[in-house]
Structure 1
Amino acid sequence: MTRPLAVFTDLDDLDPAPGVALLDRAGFDVRIADSADPDAIVRAASDAVALLVGYARVDADLLDRLPHVRILATLSAGYDMVDTDAARARGLWVCNLPDAATEEVAVHALASALSLVRDLPQADAVVRRGGWTTDLPRLPRRTSELTLGLVGMGRIASRLAELAAPIFGRVTAYDPLCPPERWPAAVRRMDLDALLAGSDVLSLHAPLNDATRGLIGRAQLERMPAGSFLVNVARGELVDPAAVLEALDGGHLAGAALDVLPVEPPAPDDPVRTHPGVLLSPHSAFLSDASRRAYVERPAENVIAWHRTGRPLTPVVTPATEGNTH
């Protein structure tokens, strides 16, 4: 009997071995395209029933070239790389990875915020060039007097709010989609304009879609208090990077911590690389020894559950007719 084929597209720095082992034991053959290039994916997956997707763009054209694919499992909580309308129109499942790195991303966001507030990058630079306390560019601010504002109130933002509540004076948030029963009691709910106006530190945790692309631009940054900070551990396209650099140069923003960028990695001459007001990390907020394994095992488990029961564990797109695994 022919074994169904599952294909990993691009892996970035992930080791697929744990996911491959799970799929193999469940009766799948597995190939590694290790590329986001559509032609490379088609060469590897022309007869595949399952795609395990990193950052590769999966659009209608690619799906038309992969007629046997029945399920797309993303190696991330975000699934903006998949054209969900095209998948739905073709009767495909799409599933994501909602909770593999909740702790890691929340802690990374908090660490970034505190690094900005305490001016740790600037303090490090002062000491390395031979200076000391009197050479610091400004006095750090007391966190218990600051408001942390969150854009989004999903798993990560909720965990961040829990971690940050004893440190910051107030935690507020904006999320038009979060139902009241899931809203943390200790977090004040606000509309976006009020959130921006009151946030000394603004941390982004929204998904990327048509409504959120470019959500934070020049006008939104200008609404924030002078001397405020921006943290983005969600998606680079939520933010206009030119507007952030402009706000930093003008002094309205005191600092920005960016784990994600619209183009990754940024070009060698991208000014974000060298701006002294920007704290950068290489899209690593999700990484830990535990999460690195989960990022390949959980998508494999989604595919295996679909194959065995007709339904993946964490679907975000459900075909009109469920239960067909082949």
Structure 2
Amino acid sequence: MVWKPPAALFEAQTGLKAIFSLGAGVNGLLDMPSLPRQVPLVRMEDGGMREQMIEYALYVALRQLRRFAAYERDQNAGTWQPRGARTRSKLRIGVLGAGALGGQVARALADFGFSVSVWSRTPKRLDGILSCQGDDGLDHVLANSDLILMFLPLTDATRGLVGHAQLQKLPHGASIANLSRGEVLDDDALLALLDSGHIDEAHLDVFAREPLPEDHPYWRHPRVRITPHVAALTDHRMAAEQVAAKIRQLESGQAITGVVDFERQY
């Protein structure tokens, strides 16, 4: 069971039967030349993170629905400006990445009454939720979303996936939240579109460099909300129980979920 292990660990351990990541993302492990490719690498599928991700997504969605960001700006300007109510079904939410966490978040948002669509690299089936794939599918989800939530793994295919061209496809005044990996988002493109007003607000929990450097413009941007990679923290007890269950399955010859495909990188 590992999280950011030293390279020497895999060089010394030659009898491993499985390697369990204590996080949902495994890109750091995959970047290690010493990682044995003949040993199953298993990512954390929940570990208490699902409920926290749903809570974070609901906060962002409700903030967008009730226009709380606009009211904060009104308060700073000393402006009294009530805005009309709108139902949850009128807020269109696009979820990029429909894996173990993204799919659960999409389901929870849809059950709460929001209009939800998802995009994933491979076809996903979520009852009652529009599922899209490929470049055209990504364009469709972006163009028809008032809020984008990102749950993408970091792979060669997703690095820099959401750049200026993609962000421009969002409707004017849309918001975005990145809860996956900082490297999937083009920071300069996001800042430019925030400055122009095309994107109303960005909620960022992950960054290409962490901790976020003190001189980064995100810190002082009035339309950026920062959290320090805490959208979903692994619950140690729950994670241990889930890993133990999978070890028992492996020892009894059963197949387990969460095994990383080294080609797809997740």
* TM-score with structure 2 setting the length: 0.80
Q: Is the 8 A contact 1:74 1:299 kept in 2?
A: no
Cα RMSD of the aligned pairs, angstroms, is 3.3
In structure 2, do the counterparts of structure 1 residues 301 and 227 end up closer, same or farther at CA, with 3 Å as the change threshold?
same
Larger radius of gyration: 1
Correspondent of 1:153 among 87, 95, 98 = 98
Q: Distance in 2 between matches of 1:270 and 1:239?
A: 15
Q: Distance in 1 between matches of 2:54 and 2:155?
A: 21
What letter matches 2:55 in structure 1? V
Q: Does residue 1:185 correspond to 2:127, yes or no?
A: yes
1:299: Cα distance to partner? 4.5
- Does the residue aligned with 2:27 lie in a helix, a strand or coil? coil
Q: Which runs of 5+ in 2 are unaligned?
A: none
Correspondent of 1:133 among 57, 65, 80 = 80
In structure 2, do the counterparts of structure 1 residues 169 and 297 end up closer, same or farther at CA, with 3 Å as the change threshold?
closer
Q: Distance in 2 between matches of 1:318 and 1:152?
A: 16
In structure 2, do the counterparts of structure 1 residues 63 and 318 end up closer, same or farther at CA, with 3 Å as the change threshold?
farther
In structure 2, do the counterparts of structure 1 residues 227 and 126 end up closer, same or farther at CA, with 3 Å as the change threshold?
closer
Q: Distance in 2 between matches of 1:318 and 1:109?
A: 27
- Does the residue aligned with 1:272 lie in a helix, a strand or coil? helix
Percent same amino acid at aligned positions? 30
- Does the residue aligned with 1:133 lie in a helix, a strand or coil? coil
Q: Distance in 2 between matches of 1:111 and 1:64?
A: 40
1:236: Cα distance to partner? 1.4
- Does the residue aligned with 2:201 lie in a helix, a strand or coil? strand
1:161: Cα distance to partner? 2.4
1:58-96 deviations in Å (ceiling 9; x for gaps):
7xx656643536243211122111127957755323111
Correspondent of 1:231 among 177, 184, 202 = 177
Correspondent of 1:294 among 238, 241, 246 = 238
Q: Is the 8 A contact 1:116 1:257 kept in 2?
A: no
Q: Distance in 2 between matches of 1:102 and 1:169?
A: 18
Q: Tell me the matched-pair count.
A: 255
Q: Is the 8 A contact 2:66 2:85 kept in 1?
A: yes
The aligned counterpart of 1:83 is 30
Q: Distance in 1 between matches of 2:161 and 2:5?
A: 22
1:285-317 deviations in Å (ceiling 9; x for gaps):
1138xx3533455456656776x5588955525
Q: Distance in 1 between matches of 2:179 and 2:69?
A: 18
Q: Is the 8 A contact 1:154 1:178 kept in 2?
A: no
Q: Distance in 2 between matches of 1:69 and 1:250?
A: 56
